[in-house]
A = this chain, B = another copy of it.
């Protein structure tokens, strides 16, 4: 009998955290579960913290910040290139782009078909392209 004594052992979230080279602490695993439970998300530290509290996950805001950055460095998250004071993280790190609704500062994934970019210039020497972010800014249609 090898019953797991720790509640979060063996979860997908734990594996994810472990693979990132991070110790699977209660807080990290719980945050990973929240972040990656359902599909693509755009979320800020404050929002994730609130969500954690609602889910009865006790974790400090400072730890949420630390964890988000650690996850980002580990390639589990990506920082969204948006204006404004808050930093938003994207749980989808694969190639995809976004609509940005001006005024509301709201982000929506562009999922229909592959958006292609042509005539991309060569990067300066010694540099290579990490990835390409396309933000399609939208405003209310004037009529």
Q: Which residues of A contact B (CB under 8 A)?
A: 79-83, 85, 87, 99-102, 108, 110, 112-121, 123-124, 126-142
Contacts and interface: CB of A to CB of B under 8 A. Distances in A.
A127 B138 contact: yes
Count of identical protomers in the assembly: 2
Contacts of A126: 140-141
Given A82-B81, A83-B80, A138 B123 contact: yes
Contacts of A102: 130
A116 B115 contact: no
Q: Closest 10 A-B residue pairs measured CB to CB?
A: A130-B137, A127-B138, A81-B81, A133-B135, A128-B141, A130-B139, A112-B121, A79-B83, A116-B118, A115-B119
A119 B114 contact: yes
Contacts of A85: 85
A124 B136 contact: no
